[in-house]
Amino acid sequence: MDLFSYIETNVFCIVVLVVLLVALRTSLSRLTNQTILTHVFLMIIAMLVLDTVKAALNGVAFPGSDVFTCIMASIFHVISVMLYFQWLRFVGYNMQLRFWRDRRMMSLFALPGVVAIALVAGSIKFGWVWSVDENNVISHGPYYLLFVACCSVYMVFACILAGYRIPIKRYFADRVLYISLALFGLLPLLGLCCECTPSSPPYSVYAMVIAALFVFLEMQSRMISTDPLTKLNNRNQLNSFLDSKIGQYTENRKVYLFVLDLDKFKGINDNFGHSEGDSALNMVADVLKRVCGPLGCFISRFGGDEFNLVAFLANDAEADALRTSIKEDLARTSASLPYSLTVSIGYARSLGRKESVMDLFSRADEALFAEKKARE
């Protein structure tokens, strides 16, 4: 690739990322995953800018060029380490894993990055990762592969975390998200394999741009169709799904609509705070994913403390069994909480195209109110 094409490609990638960054800052809710992804985009942009300057000045000697190039290379490699580490955090957050909040675990994960940054620092004097000759040409140092290995730890671990969930049935609804998260780890690794010399195009960074675009598009899609707190489907998705399935039933596969409502939820917010209320909602969402996900059910948060479930069951006995399973799992999961976390559940079996979605909701709501009244 000639210098002009090299720089042109870098500039194009920078423009794409800037557009994504602007869209990210203006269209998504102010959530933690947005903040981390913003940092990722900014780091990739910084790496592309530094690489563009390095390519333009490579082999061009001028007073102080060796110091200038050394500073640029140091910043470039430090940012790359921070980028890979941030991506691991992003994967952990989106998969709702707890390790990224555990300081002890994150300190352990930071060790490869500390080694990599130490190698960068040593390169300034000893040329461990890179060196600059009298003609201002950069070449790889003897520990370059060790540096790459330290960075690759984060990409490999991100691939494993996201990749192992892809074939699991209970995570089917989030499969596209996990594929995009795994690709962000896999594609840069493949790009690193193509960077044979310091003058090679930054294929790993280009791969990050492609993966970042994929992740951004998936996040945009999920924001349209997903409840931002619980990551379940939202009301619009429920209505669309139910409308498409309401007439699809056979002798052993009937459409059941479940309506779930948290008992005394206002008391949780009033006595323990809204943050604890959000945690309670997430706990219910996790129970529904765990119990109903393997059955191929459609799970959604309707709003407030109400959830909905569309299940394909043979008869009311199976519906009663599913309702019992949800309540028992929630009881076990919430046993250590300082308050009682229970749900009331009503359901109705679809009559097919003989009734509207609204009518089906009304019958399920009536069953819900009947259960609540029976428990008073």
Are 281 and 229 spatial neighbours (Cβ–Cβ below 8 Å)?
A: yes
Query: In terms of domains, do 179 and 49 share one?
Result: yes
Residue that finishes a domain, picked among 173, 204, 225: 225
pLDDT score of 88: 86
Query: In terms of domains, do 317 and 353 share one?
Result: yes
pLDDT score of 105: 81
CA separation, residue 216 to residues 86, 99, 150, 223, 253 (Å): 16, 23, 26, 10, 37
pLDDT score of 28: 45
Higher pLDDT, 221 or 128: 128
Q: Is the pLDDT of residue 227 over 90?
A: no
The tally of domains found in the chain comes to: 2
**Is residue 215 in a domain?**
yes
Q: pLDDT digits over 163-184, tens only?
A: 888 887 666 657 777 888 888 7
Mean pLDDT of 35-64: 89
Residue the block writes with tokens 């580490």: 85
**Is residue 230 in a domain?**
no
Residue that finishes a domain, picked among 178, 202, 225: 225
Query: In terms of domains, do 266 and 198 share one?
Result: no
Q: What spatial distance separates the first Cα and last Cα of the chain, rounded to whole Å?
A: 75
Query: In terms of domains, do 50 and 105 share one?
Result: yes
Are 323 and 313 spatial neighbours (Cβ–Cβ below 8 Å)?
A: no
Q: pLDDT digits over 234-246, tens only?
A: 887 888 788 778 7
Residues 61 and 245: their CA atoms lie apart, in Å, by 69
Q: By mean pLDDT, which of 55-64, 68-77, 313-322 is the weakest?
A: 55-64
Q: Is the pLDDT of residue 248 over 90?
A: no
Q: Is the pLDDT of residue 312 over 50?
A: yes
Query: In terms of domains, do 122 and 271 share one?
Result: no
Confidence of residue 211 (pLDDT cuts 50, 70, 90): confident
Query: In terms of domains, do 93 and 28 share one?
Result: yes
Query: In terms of domains, do 201 and 274 share one?
Result: no
Mean pLDDT of 87-101: 77
Query: In terms of domains, do 143 and 86 share one?
Result: yes
Q: Is the pLDDT of residue 8 over 70?
A: yes
Query: In terms of domains, do 17 and 49 share one?
Result: yes
- Looking at the chain, which runs of residues are DSSP E strands? 130-132, 138-140, 254-262, 298-303, 306-313, 343-349
Confidence of residue 103 (pLDDT cuts 50, 70, 90): confident
Query: In terms of domains, do 58 and 123 share one?
Result: yes
Q: By mean pLDDT, which of 24-38, 87-101, 126-140 is the weakest?
A: 24-38
Mean pLDDT of 254-260: 93
Here the CATH number for the domain that contains residue 367 is 3.30.70.270
What is the span of the domain harbouring residue 103? 3-225
Query: In terms of domains, do 239 and 333 share one?
Result: yes
Confidence of residue 222 (pLDDT cuts 50, 70, 90): low
Here the CATH number for the domain that contains residue 164 is 1.20.1070
pTM here is: 0.63
DSSP letter for each residue of 40-54: HHHHHHHHHHHHHHH
Query: In terms of domains, do 210 and 308 share one?
Result: no
Residues 243 and 239: their CA atoms lie apart, in Å, by 6
**Is residue 347 in a domain?**
yes
Residue that finishes a domain, picked among 191, 225, 259: 225
